[in-house]
């Protein structure tokens, strides 16, 4: 029975992701973001519960990746697709207009918007690679899909709740969206080591970086609200790269 608990939590992640897909297609990007956040919450605790209950399994690993593919792969791609539509003025928070380049019988499509779906393709490749990569048992190689999803989903939240002329112009600039899409897709599969927020013990010494990072996240969220989310992802990458260089330097000094 205890083995079903982490898998049940994973299925809650998948349920949230499926609802988020429906909302994203309908153009309700705000509700989409909150369901994705809920899915990522369950994604964190399914692994934690599996370790605490000693209920890890190959089934759980595969199920986790399938759920992540929906919540943190399909949804961010659709959201970016909708943001491209917004940037072109062909979509206004859930109300489609008719000035798309391709339209027939209620289906509206702008070719540039398809670029946003690269995020979904990059996520699929990353998750498939993760399942067969023995190097990613204690850390990540490349940006995890949940972190990437948080970055993408924060953009409509910033637009809606913290909009300024500068942020509106920046986020809905097609070149900015193209850049975010390409960098996001690259970072998902880049051979860059990133630390994992997986606690095997609760001691501060062995988890000092994780605790400091989580405290920093809390402070930034309190001060900057949704604007903090993309900043946190950038800090996470930079901090991981810095740790990697430090570890390499320590290894080199020991050899010398």
Both tokens assigned to 246: 């430090």
Q: What is the mean pLDDT of the chain?
A: 85
Handedness of CA 124, 41, 140, 182 (dihedral sign): positive
Q: What pLDDT score does 53 carry?
A: 76
Compute, in degrees rounded to 10, the torsion defined by CA atoms 90, 74, 177, 185: -150
> Residue 142's CB: how many other CB atoms inside 10 A?
22
Compute, in degrees rounded to 10, the torsion defined by CA atoms 67, 70, 71, 74: 160
Cα–Cα distance, 121 to 131 (Å, whole number): 16
Cα–Cα distance, 203 to 209 (Å, whole number): 11
The residue-averaged pLDDT of 194-211 equals 73
- Identify the band that residue 108 occupies on the pLDDT scale cut at 50, 70 and 90: low
Cα–Cα distance, 180 to 129 (Å, whole number): 22
Q: What pLDDT score does 96 carry?
A: 47
CATH number of 4-199: 1.20.120.1760
Q: Give the DSSP letter of residue 198.
A: -
Q: Hey, is 109 helix, strand or coil?
A: strand
Q: What pLDDT score does 99 carry?
A: 46
Q: What pLDDT score does 236 carry?
A: 93
Q: What pLDDT score does 49 carry?
A: 78
> Residue 109's CB: how many other CB atoms inside 10 A?
14
pLDDT digits (tens, 9 = 90+) for 141-197: 999 999 999 999 999 999 999 978 999 999 999 999 999 999 999 999 999 889 877
The residue-averaged pLDDT of 4-32 equals 93
Query: Going by C-beta distance under 8 Å and a sequence separation of 6 or more, which residues neighbour residue 136?
Result: 130
Cα–Cα distance, 126 to 33 (Å, whole number): 21
Q: What pLDDT score does 252 carry?
A: 63
Three-state secondary structure of 63-81 = HHHHHHHHHHHHHHHHHHH
Cα–Cα distance, 203 to 214 (Å, whole number): 14
Q: What pLDDT score does 95 carry?
A: 46
Cα–Cα distance, 178 to 115 (Å, whole number): 8
Buried b (16+ CB within 10 A) or exposed e, 49-80: bbeeeebeeeebeebbbbbbbbbbbbbbbbbb
Kindly tell me if the per-residue pLDDT of 100 is higher than 60.
Answer: no
């Amino acid at each position: 029975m205890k083995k079903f608990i982490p898998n049940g939590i994973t299925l809650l992640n998948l349920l949230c992701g499926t609802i988020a897909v429906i909302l994203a297609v309908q153009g309700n990007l705000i509700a989409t973001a909150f369901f994705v956040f809920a899915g990522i919450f369950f994604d964190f605790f399914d692994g934690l519960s599996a370790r605490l209950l000693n209920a890890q399994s190959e089934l759980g690993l595969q199920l986790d990746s399938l759920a992540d593919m929906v919540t943190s792969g399909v949804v961010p791609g659709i959201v970016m697709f909708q943001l491209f539509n917004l940037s072109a003025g062909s979509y206004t928070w859930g109300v489609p207009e008719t000035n798309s380049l391709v339209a027939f019988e209620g289906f509206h499509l702008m070719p540039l918007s398809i670029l946003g779906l690269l995020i979904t393709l990059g996520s699929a490749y990353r998750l498939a690679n993760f399942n067969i990569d023995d190097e990613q048992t204690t850390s990540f190689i490349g940006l995890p899909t949940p972190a990437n999803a948080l970055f993408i989903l924060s953009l409509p939240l910033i637009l809606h709740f913290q909009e300024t002329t500068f942020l509106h112009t920046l986020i809905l600039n097609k070149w900015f969206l193209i850049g975010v899409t390409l960098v996001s897709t690259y970072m998902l599969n880049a051979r860059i080591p990133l630390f994992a927020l997986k606690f095997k013990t609760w001691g501060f010494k062995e988890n000092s970086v994780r605790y400091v990072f989580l405290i920093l996240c809390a402070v930034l969220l309190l001060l900057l609200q949704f604007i903090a989310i993309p900043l946190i992802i950038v800090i996470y990458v930079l901090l991981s790269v810095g740790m990697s260089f430090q570890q390499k330097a320590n290894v080199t000094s020991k050899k010398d």
